Every structure is written in C-alpha cells, then in structure tokens.
Amino acid sequence: MATPGCQWQGSDLVLTIRLQPRAAKNEWVGSHGGAIKIRLTAPPVDGKANQALIEFLADLFGVAKSHVELLSGATGRDKRVRVSSPKKSPTDIQLQ
C-alpha cells in the first residue's frame, strides 16, 4: 500500500511535505492528510527552513544533500521534494 505523500518515480522518491518551521525539534511526524508532516527548528526566513529541510531529508534517507531537490513550494509550507535513490527511510515508508 502506498504511503500518503510519497510517490516513487523510478528509483527516486517524490515527497509531498507539510512543513512546520520554528518547531521545538527536528522531526518526521508522519502522514498528515495527503502529505508528510515534518517539523524543523529553522525559521522560514531567507531560505533557512528550505536548507534545513534538505539537510534533514539527506540525513534521514542516507544520501548527499545534492540528491535532495526542492521541486516546488520554496516560499510556502506545502512542498514537493525529490530524493534520488534513497538508501534508508523512516519506518513508515517502505523502500523498493
């Protein structure tokens, strides 16, 4: 069964994310409607939250930061992100 907010495109994983900046800690919350909710401590100023999201996802999926691409939503809380060939994942996502 497909995880809401996650779609495979070949070996890449495209995530639909609902981001909560200025949270108490960085964490993958899980499914939130049709998206994945992620909380980050970074403020939504000068691209800091986007950069923190890229770093967080790169670490979470075991890839280099260059393998995480923000597809849309640079200025909003709702984002689409591509993770190229993830090596590991949160427990609620099954890798191929």
Share of the chain above pLDDT 90, in %: 80
Residue 49 lies inside a defined structural domain of this protein: yes
- 65, part of any domain: yes
Q: Is the pLDDT of residue 59 over 60?
A: yes
Closest CA to 73 of 30, 27, 21: 21
Rounded alpha-carbon distances, angstroms, from residue 45 to 19, 51, 55, 74, 77: 13, 10, 16, 11, 12
pLDDT tens sequence across 3-50: 789 999 999 999 999 999 999 999 999 888 899 999 999 999 999 999
Residue type at 29?
V
How many domains does the chain divide into? 1
38 in a domain, yes or no? yes
Where in the sequence is the domain holding 59, given as residue range(s)? 32-77
Give residue 62's pLDDT. 95
* Pairing mode, strands 78-84 and 35-39: unpaired
By mean pLDDT, which of 29-33, 47-51, 62-66, 70-74 is the weakest? 29-33
Where residue 67 sits, what CATH number does that domain have? 3.30.1200.10
Region of residue 30 (phi > 0: left; psi between -120 and 50: alpha; otherwise: beta)? left
The structure tokens listed for 8 are 């495979």
